[in-house]
Amino acid sequence: MKSLMTRLSATTVNRQADPVGELRGNFRRGLSDLQRFILISAACFMIRDFDLYQAFPEEVLQILGCAPPPQLVLIALAGYVFTVITPLFVHQCRGDKPVANRWHLLYRSSFYLFFLCSQSLDSYFMLVLGTGLILYLLEQTVIGTAISRLNHGNGQPA
């Protein structure tokens, strides 16, 4: 009987590269991340009026300090959007294989927490939701374009 390492190495060596299958897997993972983002958004919609600073005792509030102003959170959100859109368009223009990162679900959802801490989630909820949905739409469009190019185009990865 072969060892586990032998079987694993044999399957990776003998496995044929399937770029379309890999991109379709990225596409499906992006859709599942979108569903998770919508679920997190629904949960944050329920607590958008919650005052985080009244829930903690005075000792914890002294450690946390004052709430960040919403303008700083908006600047961070704009910086995040720039750092997501730039590689997407670079990969699209250069014809590279699009890269999907599962950490973006955490990053996009964290802005709900940031605005909750700044006590302005009620005002900026739709901005965070819209930004997240648009970024997921752009990522899925780039991956879908790459799949289409592989199926019907010149065979380049994207």
pLDDT tens column, 107-154: 999 999 999 988 899 999 999 999 999 999 999 999 998 888 888 866
Domain range for residue 101?
20-152
Cα–Cα distance, 28 to 76 (Å, whole number): 28
- Domain membership of residue 1 (yes or no) is no
- Domain membership of residue 3 (yes or no) is no
Residue 155 confidence (pLDDT): 53
Q: How far apart are the first and last CA of the chain?
A: 42
- Domain membership of residue 8 (yes or no) is no
Q: Using the predicted structure, report yes or no on whether residue 8 has a pLDDT greater than 50.
A: no
- Domain membership of residue 141 (yes or no) is yes
- Domain membership of residue 11 (yes or no) is no
**Distance (Å) of CA 43 to CA 46, 51, 111, 127:** 5, 15, 13, 16
Least-confidence region, from 2-16, 45-59, 68-82, 101-115: 2-16
- Domain membership of residue 81 (yes or no) is yes
- In the chain, the number of structural domains is 1
pLDDT tens column, 58-94: 888 888 888 889 999 999 999 999 999 999 999 888 8
Q: What is the pTM of this model?
A: 0.81
- Domain membership of residue 4 (yes or no) is no
- Domain membership of residue 70 (yes or no) is yes
Residue 14 confidence (pLDDT): 53
Residue 154 confidence (pLDDT): 61
